[in-house]
Chain A
């Protein structure tokens, strides 16, 4: 589908808050200071698993400068981002489950006093055996991390069956089964978590670095046992989340509680190590893929088994579990599908949602397995992908509704950009190209808790100066959603984006938005904004039509000027229109909301996976493998992304590049490793190695537009789907370069060397040679 020409949509636009941030004027949570403010600090468990026998806070309380000490019993109400997995308390109650779990907290006049006070808190523990491997935890009935789990430490088992899987494998000409492991990764945002709480006149105000002000608002009400109307949550400027700030965190409750207890504002800012301990990053996944295909490569059946290492609390895990299965029926057509998954507790920091949530690791397994099958059958990897590519306006075997879809085009575009036909399988040893696909939802079809309200709401007001203000609960966490809202409003109202002010993510002043997760904001808040702006425009044009005595349909707003018959002589500006509308009855507003359509099947688990629109992506990687060291250098990465319409191509390219760079980091370096004993191997940005700009290859972005029928101006997501194809594209390229398959990520040069050695022996063996 071709899109209509637009005034602002599709034009590269610098983010509206860019200069503010560059100048250092932007106020992040840690920049905020209030009179009388105290510093809060948390005492953390040194044990991976232990009963708490006693906590003696008397000495800490007696220290000069300490204003309050808190322990778990003061806030025993459990919370959790998913109503079905509310298993956390703000501070540990009775038991600790990972090294670093918060046990007690203090508020003091300064940091040094607060830290000294922590040393004076005496906690007695009774250590319990701890488990760090989910495969072990699945069977250890003798060690229960949570008393509630029925079988050993299995939090949830999920089984899904669609179509005739047995028949599919029977009809296959080739069936291949392999196992894959993807290690944990963590978000590593630049800004560490921070919360500032003020309790005044019976009302709590919390400034917090959160992606989900609304869910936080609800959780605060519950845990602090305060009515929602007495709580205000404000998200200041935020320095990156990637899912790591996508749920309520201990420090938010603790700061609020200590503020209420002391009557003084309390700020808690995490150290970098505390960010690593808070985690909620990617689940380690132990995956088994059985894939059946016809001789021509057509997929007949897929059986995917997955054991997810959940760490010690629920977090988003049940959703991760289902996503890891549900999202595999796309972007390749799977006619028969079976999924068996387990989310298991271990004594590690909780795993949760990270950019590309649920799908990234399974995508690695499937897209490598597809290449393996293609190799077995002598089919070109691009060809097998095109042959199985999902098509627009179709329904997957698990009832996902696909509307706009340019997956085949994504594949073809990266294929031609990397000269696939001329180069795959034809480069000198050590050099190779690889490819993979992906898809992701543009916002979850269901809210995290059941409720009938729109998922996003927007209110726009106009002032007589000619400017408009967009009020939205959506949390700009650095991804640029405020700028997106300005573009949508500007396009709809016929004014420049610079005339739009966005006020976002303040539960007192902005309408509810569910938050920044599942790539939902552009699609949902964008749609709500479109509706609100349309309503505002209609109000303005109705006033003008009445004044000029013309039919409203003949009028339009272009570049801040009202255009229509009979007004050529004396042009009316946008501001004039506002003045006219105001004189008819007060302030001029527009409101809008977005609720996803009813989607998906009716089976258990059907609520996770459906979305009003899916993005599609394909990456092609070129690697250079050092034959003596096994070192892999990604020399080029080409990322195509079907995002419906690029509302702002500059921002979209940034998102796609950011996704790909996260994928590259996870492929090559990032390993959130927990040592035996429960300590993190690398709780710092020095040794948890994320790539810097210097470490990245040439990233080339190709934005593919399929014009979504339901997205705002045709737009879909591009922030998370862009992580999906990176890992398998690189792994497949390594195979092309040196002929070895990597079944564990992050890939290590050492493993590559060992596999190359084995491959060499195999090749000289009399009958072994399967590869030309």
Chain B
């Protein structure tokens, strides 16, 4: 087994305590389920002096599913999201996405906040220290070039968190919390603004800031779903994913939101697809045409299994099938 580097573990009981811990120790990192961060620490990608364990914080595990005001604490386990009957009914895309993250064992450990803040992934990055030393380092950690696309000046590491495209399609907001000048500072952002399409920057979190909750709008009649392509169904990161939410009102599509995952460094809203469908009757030919547009904004590079071309193809096929299922 690969050993973890040494660190001090803080176990705050409240959100405020956690935020203070983080702001007091530069370089400290929050850890929730640890299913992403600890693996990366073993690989030598992070060496924080202090880990602030969020799993003892009661308020982060709170959920409020009251109609019209769905609020999910960042500490909620993916397994809870997967199994919640209320979510399965009203926000199926999220429950479906949570249910295909890794495997049931990891869904028991992994949290919503950890999933949203999952580091971007790349086959040249998610490797041991030995491996990266042999290969040569890259822009994302320790190097000056991108190993996947040496001509490029940016990092294409892939946004691989399954709940993010689902929540984007559902129009979710994140609530961010921070300890500022001796007081708790909160802000709320639509998920699209939380992510940055850059493999290194990836999120707009400020230092010592935490995701505390996810807020979901509730629009009666909304149907949503999530589809994921992976090589091995039992356990695998996504190679492409699609989430969609829509309503059928008076024979036409309303509130259409479609997002693709794992084809860029952030989940992408498929605006062309959405525009084509909004207000139109759900005609199969139109759905197919709209699905063709779903990969318009994405240009993945070869830094995962499977080829970029095929991953985009899969997104289009999954999109058409998902839309067809949702309007059926």
Chain A interface extent, by class: 35 or more
Mask: chain B, 133-146; 1 = CB below 8 Å from A; 0 = not: 11110000000000
Q: Is the CB of B236 within 8 A of A689?
A: yes
Q: Is the CB of A677 within 8 A of B135?
A: yes
**Whole-angstrom CA separation of A748 from B309 in the bound complex:** 13
Q: Is the CB of A679 within 8 A of B1?
A: no
Question: Contacts of A669 on B, CB cut-off 8 Å?
Answer: 231-232
Q: Is the CB of A271 within 8 A of B2?
A: yes
Mask: chain B, 224-245; 1 = CB below 8 Å from A; 0 = not: 0000000111111100000000
Q: Is the CB of A694 within 8 A of B234?
A: yes
Chain A interface mostly:
loop
Find A691's partner among B3, B135, B232, B313 (CB 8 Å cutoff). B232
Q: Is the CB of B131 within 8 A of A692?
A: no
Chain B interface mostly:
loop
Question: Contacts of A750 on B, CB cut-off 8 Å?
Answer: 306-307, 309-310
Question: Contacts of B307 on A, CB cut-off 8 Å?
Answer: 750
Question: Contacts of B127 on A, CB cut-off 8 Å?
Answer: 679, 683
Known: A677-B135, A679-B131. A695 touches B233 (CB 8 A): yes
Chain B's closest residue to A118 (CB) is B130
Output the least CB separation between B168 and chain A (Å): 24
Question: Contacts of A602 on B, CB cut-off 8 Å?
Answer: none
B128 on interface, CB distance cutoff 8 Å? yes
Enumerate A675-704 residues with CB–CB distance to B below 8 Å: 675, 677-683, 686-687, 689, 691-695
Output the least CB separation between B242 and chain A (Å): 13
Output the least CB separation between A552 and chain B (Å): 58
Output the least CB separation between B8 and chain A (Å): 16
Question: Contacts of A47 on B, CB cut-off 8 Å?
Answer: 134
Output the least CB separation between B289 and chain A (Å): 16
Mask: chain A, 202-242; 1 = CB below 8 Å from B; 0 = not: 00000000000000000000000000000000000000000
Known: A111-B3, A689-B236, A750-B306. A629 touches B314 (CB 8 A): yes
Question: Contacts of A629 on B, CB cut-off 8 Å?
Answer: 313-314, 317
A99 on interface, CB distance cutoff 8 Å? yes
Question: Contacts of B130 on A, CB cut-off 8 Å?
Answer: 44, 46, 100, 273
Enumerate B85-131 residues with CB–CB distance to A below 8 Å: 123, 127-128, 130-131
Q: Is the CB of A695 within 8 A of B131?
A: no
A654 on interface, CB distance cutoff 8 Å? no
Interface-central residue, B123, B134, B233, by most chain A CB under 10 Å: B134
A53 on interface, CB distance cutoff 8 Å? no
Chain B's closest residue to A749 (CB) is B310
Mask: chain B, 1-36; 1 = CB below 8 Å from A; 0 = not: 111001000000000000000000000000000000
Output the least CB separation between B268 and chain A (Å): 21
Question: Contacts of B134 on A, CB cut-off 8 Å?
Answer: 46-47, 99-100, 677-679
Chain A's closest residue to B318 (CB) is A629
Question: Contacts of A414 on B, CB cut-off 8 Å?
Answer: none
Q: Is the CB of A695 within 8 A of B310?
A: no
A330 on interface, CB distance cutoff 8 Å? no
Known: A99-B134, A679-B131, A679-B135. A692 touches B235 (CB 8 A): yes
**Whole-angstrom CA separation of A202 from B19 in the bound complex:** 60
Find B123's partner among A44, A46, A115, A687 (CB 8 Å cutoff). A687
A628 on interface, CB distance cutoff 8 Å? yes
Enumerate B300-318 residues with CB–CB distance to A below 8 Å: 305-307, 309-310, 313-314, 317
Find B317's partner among A112, A628, A680 (CB 8 Å cutoff). A628
Enumerate A625-667 residues with CB–CB distance to B below 8 Å: 628-629
Q: Is the CB of B123 within 8 A of A681?
A: yes
Question: Contacts of B237 on A, CB cut-off 8 Å?
Answer: 686
Chain B's closest residue to A271 (CB) is B2
Find A683's partner among B6, B131, B231, B234 (CB 8 Å cutoff). B131
Enumerate B181-207 residues with CB–CB distance to A below 8 Å: none
Chain A's closest residue to B305 (CB) is A687
Chain B's closest residue to A111 (CB) is B3
Find A689's partner among B231, B310, B313 (CB 8 Å cutoff). B231
Enumerate B126-172 residues with CB–CB distance to A below 8 Å: 127-128, 130-131, 133-136
Question: Contacts of B310 on A, CB cut-off 8 Å?
Answer: 749-750, 753
Output the least CB separation between B307 and chain A (Å): 6
Question: Contacts of B6 on A, CB cut-off 8 Å?
Answer: 112
Find A686's partner among B133, B233, B235, B306 (CB 8 Å cutoff). B235
Question: Contacts of A686 on B, CB cut-off 8 Å?
Answer: 235-237
Known: A677-B135, A750-B306. A695 touches B232 (CB 8 A): yes
**Whole-angstrom CA separation of A269 from B1 in the bound complex:** 8
**Whole-angstrom CA separation of A316 from B224 in the bound complex:** 55
Known: A115-B3, A271-B2. A689 touches B131 (CB 8 A): no
Chain A's closest residue to B42 (CB) is A271
Q: Which 9 A-B pairs have the closest CB atoms?
A: A46-B134, A694-B234, A692-B234, A750-B310, A689-B232, A679-B135, A695-B234, A628-B317, A99-B134
Q: Chain B: residues with CB nearer than 8 A to chain A?
A: 1-3, 6, 123, 127-128, 130-131, 133-136, 231-237, 305-307, 309-310, 313-314, 317
- Can you name 20 extra interface pairs (CB under 8 A) apart from A272-B2, A629-B313, A693-B234? A46-B134, A99-B134, A112-B3, A269-B1, A271-B2, A271-B128, A273-B2, A273-B128, A273-B130, A677-B136, A679-B131, A682-B123, A683-B127, A687-B305, A689-B232, A694-B233, A695-B234, A748-B306, A750-B309, A750-B310
8 contacts between A and B (CB under 8 A): A46-B130, A46-B134, A47-B134, A271-B2, A669-B232, A677-B134, A682-B305, A691-B232
